[in-house]
A and B are shown apart, each in its own frame.
Chain A
Amino acid sequence: MKRLISLLLALAFLQAGLAGAEPVSVGSVKNIQGRVHIVRGGETVPAEVGSRLYQNDTIVTGEAGTIGVLFKDNSGLSMGPDSRLQITRYVFDPAASQLGFVARVTKGTMVYLSGLIAKLGRDSVRFETTTAVAGVRGTRLAIQVQGD
């Protein structure tokens, strides 16, 4: 009986947690140079050191802009000037074996140092460009895409 009650309590708690769920941040901005902004749900917000990032965010750097980001799985991403990258999927829940990072690079340069998602999940990190897909088994890589 005791067990049943605690199970019910746990379920209620879980549900409350889901109902009031705020979007979970996937990482934060560690360094910025020049002008960098984030496109989030059609709105443009300036990126600053300490800014949180979310799934579906697009990071856009200006002519002299660069940015460094650390994600929750301890992977690191940096972008050079005049670049554009969307975090199309970011799932990091090792306890539930839910792991995935997919980013779409449409312009410019970026460097990525893989973290726990690549380490724990096979074929779970992917970078898509307009002409190909890079499957990452680790650890550090760079991608350049010529904009149109």
Chain B
Amino acid sequence: MMFTALGRYLTGLCLCLLACGLAAGCGPKSQFLLLPDPDGRVGALTVSNEKGSQLLDKAYMGASVDSADKAPSPPTVWSQDKITKLFGPALEAQPDPAVTFILYFISGTSDLTEESIEKIPRIMAAIRDRKSTDLSVIGHTDRVGAAEMNRRLSVNRASRVAEILISKGADSNSIEVTSHGEENPLIPTADDVAEPKNRRVEVTVR
């Protein structure tokens, strides 16, 4: 019994080695495909190894690489049929994108504006609907004042929002509170420019 299994394994191994010797595309082969995002935007992808590089920058452009010592093939546009055949299950399994709510603050404080207080019930509804166990609360400021002071202000803003969400029933273990100070503006500005849209906390429900 043992010997038969071993024999079969060895025969398989020999056949495989033989096939590898004969076939040009032996071993792992990779294929790369650029897809539009859900909003229809198309980004870009470079596929490279030591032998060469290809740029994929149009929707449904694909390239394949037969081995590490062969350059990537020039890109071609793939048919929907080919894409579904190869990637159907992986495309089906794509997660629902995260939803982000933006809450604004009164300048220099961690007090929410009236309009932003009214958004809290919608955030709670999104947490319930998605059965989310993963929330980010990220504090930001505009560029008025010193960067270090803004860092502290962004921490206070994020903590305040997290407290509000927990008081409404969100699980504190699901919430990650971080702050970016003035480093990640929604609207890029020069230093010391007041920009209400950057004075914010982003709540992302995943």
B101 interface residue (CB < 8 Å to A): no
Instruction: Enumerate chain B residues within 8 angstroms of A137, measured Cβ to Cβ.
Output: 43-46
A residues 74-110 in Cβ contact with B at 8 Å: 74, 76, 78-81, 83, 94-95, 97, 105-107, 109-110
A130 and B68 alpha carbons, distance in the complex (Å): 7
What is the interface residue range for chain B against chain A? Answer: 35 or more
A residues 109-148 in Cβ contact with B at 8 Å: 109-111, 113-114, 118, 120, 129-148
Task: Count CB-based A-B contacts (< 8 Å).
Answer: 170
Instruction: Enumerate chain A residues within 8 angstroms of B118, measured Cβ to Cβ.
Output: none
Instruction: Enumerate chain B residues within 8 angstroms of A136, measured Cβ to Cβ.
Output: 43, 45
Q: Given the known A-B contacts A80-B89, A80-B90, A133-B49, are A143 and B134 also in contact in the complex, defined by CB atoms under 8 Å?
A: no
B197 interface residue (CB < 8 Å to A): no
Interface residues, chain A, with chain B CB atoms under 8 Å away: 27-28, 30-31, 33, 50, 66-70, 72, 74, 76, 78-81, 83, 94-95, 97, 105-107, 109-111, 113-114, 118, 120, 129-148
Interface residues, chain B, with chain A CB atoms under 8 Å away: 27-38, 41-49, 65-68, 70, 72, 83, 86-98, 100, 133-134, 136, 151, 176, 178-181, 183-184, 204, 206
